[in-house]
Amino acid sequence: MRQNTKNRKNGFTLVELLLVSAILGIIIMVTSGIIIYSYRVQRVSYDEYELQTTMRLAAEETNKVVRYSSAIFTIPEGRFFEGNLSDGWNYFGLSEDKREVIKYVYEERGGVTKHWKEVVVPAQDNLEYSIVFDKENDDPEDRMMKFKIIGTVLGTTDRRIIIESEVESINALQVVDRGTASNLAVALAYRYDERPKYDVVGVVTMVIDTSGSMGDDLQGHSYVTESSKRISKLKNALVGYTKDTGEVVEGMINSFAKDENVEVSIVPFSISANYPTPSSEYSSQSHPFYKVSNPSEKSDLISQINSLSANGGTNTGDGMRRAYYRNMYFKNNVTSMSDYGANFSTRDYMIILVDGVTTMATSVGGYGDSRYRMTDGYQSNLNYYSNSWYWSYPGIIGRGNAEDSVTDRYVELIGNYIRNDGIKVYVIGFSEIASELNSVNKIATAAGADSENVYKFTDNLDIDNVLDEIRADIMMDLWHIRGPQL
């Protein structure tokens, strides 16, 4: 029996098509995921490579700027921009959008002298940077500078590189940090001069007590070794020496000599502040200034310091008077001095060191405030009157062995001159005997010395450290004035 069959066309059923579509969808999803992941991995690797490369360039340039500059100032945030650059200074930092590492080089190009912008690290589409500079030691002679550079891939918080380093500026005379904890330093102003010259002269007068008690030790003992005497310790701290331990103390004068424009005048006083010998001799010559960066002048100053001797009473007001007029002489004549000129000005400082109370004053004769010698020049009449009956006479008046309102008044009147002319004053009470320092606060108040600039050796101080702290404060003050104007 023959069976009839129907012819069929080859094809897929709906179920088969759905199944195949589902399988293909799964394959496409898996494959595209792998492709996207591979792209992302490649993109991340590329970003990290770019970040590492640019961070390395930024760190290398920062190292070079810090290491080889002759003067460096850090610049607080908000003060670094193209419209706020000082002539003579180069600058290093970030662009305003933080996408580029840039520097401004001050130099002549094609007959034009200005700040020329240079891009150290060009902007990348997805990278930004931050830089912070810091110094642990505020002393401008400390040459160590810390910096932190952070590079970040935009749109992320975890994809970044941080480089932290501390570099010594091997050529810098001063490294000054103007940043604070609340306003971090984010840029540098720097220069490459071999020895930068500035138009501000630091004028320092040193009013030094050379009365008889300066031959005692700090505890007031009279029969002591030469090295224990107050005047010997002061000399060492000024000119430098080597301690028994082998430690070398550079000395204030040698430290000042590193700066091109610091002038120092020593004004010793005892019964008067006559030059060259306060206890007897006098001349029409005033106490000389020494430009301590000049080796010959520094040597002459050191010789003068080493020749100081202890003798006589304590006429602090006369020492302040002579020093005040030396400061004023330099201030009023700096523009005509051969070493300086029309563009120069001064920043004036006075260091007053006493080891006892004020016991004498200088009189031109008369009564009340009119009796005191207030003008410049030496005191030719050194007749001494300890009896108050004769204190209207010209000469040297005062009790000689104790302070008195008459001698204190002389300090107060001269101090008014010093304070009113803006001289920055430091006062040192160089004795460990409290009763010998009763005049220190009166001197400081009269001359306008800030409390942090008053030193009493009843606080167990060291003269080497005190003079170095004062030197550092003066140099910091000078460098803030001389540095780029922010």
Contact 350, 417 (CB under 8 A): no
pLDDT of residue 48: 64
- In whole angstroms, what is the distance from residue 123 CA to residue 143 CA? 31
3-state secondary structure of 161: strand
DSSP state of 102: E
Tens digit of pLDDT for each residue in 67-78? 998 889 999 999
For residue 478, give the nearest of 252, 267, 197 by alpha carbon: 197
pLDDT of residue 465: 94
Per the structure block, which two tokens stand in for 404?
Answer: 């008195």
pLDDT of residue 3: 52
pLDDT of residue 472: 86
Which run of H or E residues covers position 40? helix 14-68
In this structure, the number of other CB atoms found within 10 A of the CB of residue 411 comes to 27
Per the structure block, which two tokens stand in for 257?
Answer: 């000599």
Query: Which segments of the chain have a pLDDT < 70?
Result: 1-12, 15-17, 20, 30-49, 157-158, 194-198, 281, 480, 486
CA 335 from centre of chain: 25
- In whole angstroms, what is the distance from residue 160 CA to residue 52 CA? 9
Q: Which domains does the chain have, with CATH numbers?
A: 42-191 (no CATH), 200-482 (3.40.50.410)
pTM, rounded to two decimals: 0.75
For residue 270, give the nearest of 335, 318, 226 by alpha carbon: 318
Q: Region of 220 please: left (phi>0), alpha (psi -120 to 50) or beta.
A: left
Residues 306-310: contacts with CB within 8 Å, 24+ apart? 306/235, 306/239, 308/208, 308/210, 308/231, 308/234, 308/235, 308/266, 308/268, 309/210, 309/231, 310/210, 310/211, 310/212, 310/213, 310/214, 310/215, 310/229, 310/230, 310/231
pLDDT of residue 284: 81
Q: Is the peptide bond before 196 cis (omega within 30 degrees of 0)?
A: no
3-state secondary structure of 41: helix
* Phi and psi torsions of 53, nearest 5°: -65, -50
Residues 253-258: contacts with CB within 8 Å, 24+ apart? 253/292, 253/298, 253/301, 253/302, 253/305, 254/298, 255/141, 255/468, 255/471, 255/475, 256/202, 256/204, 256/292, 256/471, 257/292, 257/293, 257/298, 258/141, 258/173, 258/293
3-state secondary structure of 292: coil
- In whole angstroms, what is the distance from residue 431 CA to residue 212 CA? 13
Which run of H or E residues covers position 248? strand 248-249
Mean pLDDT of the chain: 89
